[in-house]
Structure 1
Amino acid sequence: MHNHGIGAWAATRRRKSPDRVAIVAGDLQVTYGQFADQVDRISSVLRHRGLGRGDAVAYIGENCPEFLEVMFAAAALGAVFVPVNTRLAPPEVAHVLVDSGARVVIVDPALRERAQPGIDQARIGDVIPTGEGDAQHPGLDLLVRGASAGHADEQVGPDDVSPDHPAAIIYTSGTTGKAKGAVLTHGNLTWVALNCIIDYDVVSTDIALMISPLFHVASLGMGALPVFLKGGTLVLEKGFDPGRALALIAEHRVTMLSGVPTTYQLMADHPDWAGTDLSSLRKLTCGGSAVPTRILNAYEERGLSFSQGYGMTETSPGATSLAPEMTREKQGSVGLPHFFTEVRIADEQGAMVPRGTVGEIEISGPNVFAGYLNLPDATAAAFTADGWFRSGDLGYLDADGYLFIADRLKDMIISGGENIYPAEVENLISDLPGVTGVAVIGVPDERWGEVPWAILTLAPGTEASLDDVRAHLDGRIARYKIPKNVVVVDELPRTASGKVRKAELRTRFGGEGRLRAEPPR
């Protein structure tokens, strides 16, 4: 079998840079040569279990070398990697395992209890725990020591792996309804890595601190894969702690860091922020939402600036990026389309709209997914007649072609016949001192149909009232966009990628009485 996909990357890296450090995980350092040998042995273990092209291999675990080793081992066989979000509840894990048709599950023993209902429901008999295991239930480490190290890409045959073949099934965040499995091909993952290498200037000497979970497509597709392709180093962390992240940046001379605005804010607010040596950092990328001005200020004071971007699981995930030097000039924008990607804006009838006009964002490029697993109708609905992916997001292109996000179609609030895009309001509220998180949702109202509410999280020792929010927004946006109520909560419900689960907030607060909005609009 000849592999034209990502399954050939480990062996190629072994040939080109065997002694370069590929992964750092705690006290463990793994070179590219050692990594490729381990990938070969895991692929041998899977092959002897009957796994081959098209078979699904599920992995349930936090950031660690095994995550990437299993992914590349599956890819070497032409099998399909299914990373499972470790934050999912047992019924959600069960949905992923059943829907993906996983034949083998490799699971961290600490997460076995959460995974077991799904393993039973999917009738998966082949379950491999990470670690040693025991004689009766041998773990991955034990199995690997007895496996051969021969590379799986040994001969040309009828089962060749092409760029169009599925490489991974990544389940969407599931903010509404059951999560859908987005089928990402070898080509999708290759092109998104190339987009990042070009637009973020990834080089072989980069050291990337991976504080976001690899089961999230942004961390995998725009962090791990481009760095691996260039032969850089990945520093893997199982979770995010702002103080530890700062210490690791200084210890390992980290050059790349990815996160969401909350990640960067927590680091800037940490007591060690001012005293930590951040001089090695070259590239900060941020997604999920726009970076608030106060965070930009905090990092610019340290000589650092952000590359912001926009994308989704279905685009593997990068669609656009905003260069650091344009952060201020195009503040609020998510940038230009990635090098090998195109973006356009369409109205409800599918016609292209003029620059500056809000419409649905449509995306085209080799990084756009193949479709939703087992959902032909949803796949068909996701694409236009000429093959562009319909994002479901609202936005506009300015005169220079920079993309600005208005909001999700389903999150748009219609109040008294006026459209309110929560993202616009959220971005302004996020600059209010003390606000650490904000979500604006529509709540039913007898007079206006819906009115906006702001759900906030605050820094310890700070307060923010409805009057504070109104005063902050007065004169900056139309009055009908200003929230009619402010609710402070301990924590906003979020997906693994950091996006707020607004459906949960609407369920929670939508029934708490109906407000009577003030007449002036």
Structure 2
Amino acid sequence: MELSIAGGIREFGASAAHSTAVIDGDRRLTFGEVHDRSSRLGQDLLAAGLDPGDRVAVLLGNRAEWPEIAAGLAKAGLVMVPLGTRSTAAENAYILDHADVRALIADAALLGNIATPPPVVRLIDGGYEDALAKASAEDPRVPVSERDPFTIVYTSGTTGRPKGVLISHRSRSLTFYCSALEWGLGPGRTSLAVAPMYHGAGFAFGYTPVFAGGTVAMLRSFDAPGLLAALAESRAQSVFLVPTHAHQLRASGLVGEYDLSALDTIFFNAAALPTALKDWVLEAFPGVGVHELYGSTEGGIVTDCRPAYARTKPGSVGPAWFMTEIKLLDDADAEVGPGEPGELCSRSPFLMNGYLKDEAATAAALTSDGFYRSGDIAVRDADGFVTIVDRKKDMIISGGVNIAPREVEEVVNGFPGVAETAVVGLPDDRWGESVTAFVVALPGASPDPDAIVAHCRTVLSGPKVPRRVEFLPVLPRNAAGKILKRELRKD
């Protein structure tokens, strides 16, 4: 039997049809309802002329429809292409074109972010329910190999344009099973979906509870009081957060005012969790097991620093996760010893299939023996615990969002009076890193920094817009002419 991300919905739709699968405010969906609705969605899209393997974009915030959409597309053999709710029309247009998207499922309120919709459109709060009601409730059961992609997740890289990461049913089904084992996300357990489900990690940790027979409660938008209230109301036992959430929880001073007695597990990912902030989390949530993970869209979950080591291995993201091999390589691809820095590379069943339409980038991302090159520099101690010490790539991570500096640089460079730009991430207590543009003006020109930021907002989504614009007479370079961004980070 082939693994499929629709498997859990099928299994618990039959064995636990009346158990609650999804909570979204006052709305509840049982496993039987999610199973039925996902089958109807798959049938509707096939009847609309889509063929197995076609790509379907999803533009949706955290809400009840996410699990049924993912399962419905999988049942029909269709491939999901998530779009960011904060992405601009230009960013979405690139993805729709690059992925050859043939259909769109979107929140009607977000349709303004789509300049040219694909041929088939289903709008939630605008005809979606009518389409489901008219469709057959029979599970389409389109045969799909477990190694075929169920999703294409676009992630920014240092080359500017986002790359489409092909993720298989096998990869994420195994991730879901291991996550259920690690964090107790199965029957009788509730987890709160806080991170956006259009992100790779947000989807994985938001969908796992339903896949494994538990319950997911949706948090539609984040603020500290709303998160705490949702945890208290849902009686969630587990929640996935990024460090930005912890920063805001600490700043709110409200943690002790809510009944969080059901909460027993918090897992962090997406960016480094500063040691001081982790210490605060451990003190603010006594008795709660705190996990710190390391991973990526391409590599899946790679390491996990489990609660038993939260204090004894400060700064570490833990040893290798289930079924994962790790090695640290120097610039000559030779393995380094304990305590020596090297690029973190991993091999596991969770790895991507590759990048869509980019064989060269796929080959460059892998070693000759199939390990994924993370671009992160790490050290590993004698016990096998990994600590991330630097980034080989120039990627910026702000609020858990990956940002390619070159993409921002190209936009700033297009502003009148700008000669060249270097964009880096500078430390930020709230966001982890703050996008900062160092600009050299053309001779005689005096570009206004506020105008540059305003220009960026017309092209880039919010997290990518520079928070600071600084002017320099020249950018620091080495003898080969390469900009020395490490010098800018010292600013």
Q: What's the offset of the Cα at 1:457? A: 5.3
Equivalent-residue separation in structure 1 for 2:257 and 2:137 (angstroms): 46
Assess if the C-alpha contact under 8 Å between 2:40 and 2:132 holds in 1: yes
* Distance change >3 Å, CA 202–CA 68, structure 1 → 2: closer
Aligned residues: 427
Q: What's the offset of the Cα at 1:273? A: 1.9
Tell me which residue corresponds to 2:447.
none
SS of the residue corresponding to residue 334 of structure 1 reads coil
Tell me which residue corresponds to 1:399.
382
Tell me which residue corresponds to 2:138.
150
Q: What's the offset of the Cα at 1:202? A: 3.2
Consecutive aligned runs of 4 or more in structure 1 exceeding 3 Å deviation: 173-176, 452-459, 507-515
Tell me which residue corresponds to 1:365.
348
- Percent of paired sites with the same residue: 29
Q: Deviations over 1:343-365 (max 9, x none)?
A: 11011111111111111111101
Once the two structures are superposed, the pairs formed by residues 91-240 of structure 1 within 5 Å of their partners are 91-117=90-116, 119=117, 124-131=118-125, 133=126, 139-153=127-141, 160-174=143-157, 177-221=160-204, 223-240=205-222
> Which of 240, 251, 259 matches 1:258?
240
Which deviates further from its counterpart, 45-54 or 88-97? 45-54
* Distance change >3 Å, CA 500–CA 44, structure 1 → 2: closer
Assess if the C-alpha contact under 8 Å between 1:319 and 1:338 holds in 2: yes
Partner amino acid, structure 1, of 2:119: G
Q: TM-score w.r.t. structure 1 length? A: 0.76
Assess if the C-alpha contact under 8 Å between 1:7 and 1:78 holds in 2: no
Q: What's the offset of the Cα at 1:219? A: 1.3
SS of the residue corresponding to residue 361 of structure 1 reads strand
Partner amino acid, structure 2, of 1:50: G
- RMSD between superposed Cα atoms in Å: 3.0
Assess if the C-alpha contact under 8 Å between 1:195 and 1:338 holds in 2: no
Assess if the C-alpha contact under 8 Å between 1:198 and 1:339 holds in 2: no
Once the two structures are superposed, the pairs formed by residues 308-347 of structure 1 within 5 Å of their partners are 308-315=292-299, 317-347=300-330
Equivalent-residue separation in structure 2 for 1:514 and 1:116 (angstroms): 37
Tell me which residue corresponds to 1:247.
229
Assess if the C-alpha contact under 8 Å between 2:6 and 2:211 holds in 1: no
Q: In the alignment, is residue 408 of structure 1 matched against residue 402 of structure 2?
A: no
Q: What's the offset of the Cα at 1:301? A: 4.2
Structure 1 residue ranges without an equivalent (≥5): 134-138, 154-158, 413-421, 427-438, 442-449, 460-489, 494-498
Assess if the C-alpha contact under 8 Å between 1:51 and 1:77 holds in 2: no
Q: Deviations over 1:438-474 (max 9, x none)?
A: x9x9xxxxxxxx9x99554579xxxxxxxxxxxxxxx
Equivalent-residue separation in structure 2 for 1:172 and 1:24 (angstroms): 29
Q: Deviations over 1:393-448 (max 9, x none)?
A: 11121110011111211349xxxxxxxxx99xx9xxxxxxxxxxxx9x9xxxxxxx
Partner amino acid, structure 1, of 2:133: R
* Distance change >3 Å, CA 305–CA 175, structure 1 → 2: farther
Tell me which residue corresponds to 2:85.
86
Equivalent-residue separation in structure 1 for 2:379 and 2:188 (angstroms): 37
Tell me which residue corresponds to 1:388.
371
Partner amino acid, structure 1, of 2:132: V
Q: Deviations over 1:47-75 (max 9, x none)?
A: 10122321101111111122221111110
Equivalent-residue separation in structure 2 for 1:457 and 1:272 (angstroms): 18
Structure 2 residue ranges without an equivalent (≥5): 406-421, 432-452, 457-461, 477-486
SS of the residue corresponding to residue 6 of structure 1 reads coil
Assess if the C-alpha contact under 8 Å between 1:199 and 1:338 holds in 2: no
Equivalent-residue separation in structure 2 for 1:404 and 1:289 (angstroms): 10
SS of the residue corresponding to residue 336 of structure 1 reads coil
Equivalent-residue separation in structure 2 for 1:457 and 1:322 (angstroms): 22
